[in-house]
Chains A and B, each alone.
Chain A
Amino acid sequence: MADITKIQEIFYELQVSEVMTSQVVAVMPQTTMSQFEELLRGRRISGAPVVDETGNLIGIVSIMDLIQALEKGQIEQPVADHMTTDVEVLQDNERVISAIHRLQSTGYGRFPVVAHSTGKLVGILTQGDIIRGTLKQLDMDYRRLEAQGYRQRHFFEDILSENTSIVLRYTVRPRDLSHGGEASSHLKRSLTSLGIRPEILRRVAVATYEAEMNLVLHATSGGRIRADIRSHQLRIDVTDHGPGISDIEQAMRPGFSTAAEWIREMGFGAGMGLTNIRNCADEMSLESRIGRGTHLRILFRLNQAQQ
């Protein structure tokens, strides 16, 4: 399912101009049908646009038109007598997805492409061109992701030390709801750059967010988040200097909340924060002293083999 979406993405991104054949084999109105036949055989194509001296598209002639001419014995006549004048064209700046729809709905094998700015013939587009262009784009995207992936996966291997850790530090201000969630968001993005797996990323994001919001909503003077990242584990320490939790067991109970009314009105205070953290983390510990502060430790194990 993911692969189909990627290809669809490319269909929406690519423009006709990026996949079309710009070396167009075209004919003039006075070219004879028999000359056209030689062209078809020699160049292995099945049709050609007809242009005047100034490059304007005036018609299109195909192998079907040639067969009809042969049947009527009109092979020496000019192409102008057999061509279709009401030509359906694509604009060079249209997206490939619209070209695909046109190809499907009309059943035509090819479309001449005209420049959006001048209206002159600039190329021709077939299904084969679309396939080639899409594969090329997929290949380019794949290479880029591979390069990124390598850097991510090998970060800790490339840095040489007996024990490497990267420490990220965030300050969380009390009651600062407009920035609530910012630290977790920045941490998540940083971990993505370091190549941490998506499943672990989600658990880290949820746990950090809950811890961060607890600081915003409950800590009198806010607090700090410290993320210590090593190759085999991620440890997050969340600290504040008050008010402290009087009964830790009670605080850990799902549904228990000390949230004030203004907090609950916004959808906070469900009493699930610490429970969510415990469910997401591999290990968790919570220490607190009334009047002194709270220290929450969360541990995530990172499987080295899969990174």
Chain B
Amino acid sequence: MTVQEIIERLNLGVVTSADPNREITGGYASDLLSCVMAGAKAGNVWVTLQAHPNVVAVASLLDLAAVVITEGVVPDAETTTKAEQNSVTLLQTQKTTYAVVGELTSAGVKGTGAE
């Protein structure tokens, strides 16, 4: 499943788009950055309601496919600029993290655990 496909399927808003054709390797949901650093893998989609610049730093370091920011939270200009500069895809939705994770799982994006 590619980033573009989940954008269409979940009707996500696109804040920044780095590589829409990138294949998604799995999913991770957490609002605690250290947990994401420990558990998420390259190519994963990260679902969170955090929208500050450090979200971009984490996504870039881990080489994530995309970040879905939930609950209608809108990333500020600093975050958006940083995402553009670091080629990080930021997507946006009004839905809750729980709902998004459910839809992604139904679509076939499996969860990445800290095994």
A interface residues (Cβ-Cβ under 8 A, vs B): 1, 5, 8-9, 12, 177-178, 180-182, 184-185, 188, 198, 202, 205-206, 209-210, 213, 266-273, 275-276, 279
Q: How far is A5 from B22 in the complex, measured between Cα atoms in Å?
A: 9
**Chain A proximity of B28: nearest CB distance (Å):** 13
The SS class assigned to the B binding surface is: helix
A209 touches B37 (CB 8 A): yes
Given A202-B42, A205-B62, A209-B61, the answer on whether A268 and B21 have CB atoms closer than 8 Å is no
Number of interface residues of B (CB under 8 A): 24
Give the number of A-B contacts (CB < 8 Å).
76
Q: Does B33 make an interface contact (CB < 8 A)? A: yes
Give A176 Cβ to nearest chain B Cβ, in Å.
11
A180 touching B53 in the complex, CB below 8 Å, given contacts A267-B31, A268-B33? yes
State whether A181 touches B21 (Cβ < 8 A).
no
Nearest chain B CB to A147 CB, angstrom units: 23
| Secondary structure of the A contact surface, majority rule | helix
> Once bound together, how far apart are the Cα atoms of A275 and B38, in whole Å?
9
* B52, CB-defined interface residue at 8 Å: yes
Query: Would B62 and A266 count as touching, CB distance under 8 A?
Result: no
A275 to B114, CA, bound (A): 13
CB distance from A276 to the nearest CB of B (A): 5
Q: Output the least CB separation between A204 and chain B (Å).
A: 10
Interchain CA distance A202-B62 in the complex, whole Å: 7
Residues of chain A contacted by B55 (CB below 8 angstroms): 267
Asked if B112 lies at the interface with its beta carbon under 8 angstroms from chain A, I say: no
Could you tell me the distance in whole angstroms from the C-beta of A219 to the nearest C-beta in chain B? 16
Minimal Cβ-Cβ distance residue in B for A279: B38
- Cβ proximity bits B54-67 to A, threshold 8 Å, 1 near / 0 not: 11011011100000
A95 to chain B, nearest CB (A): 12
User: B23, A5: Cβ atoms under 8 Å?
Assistant: yes
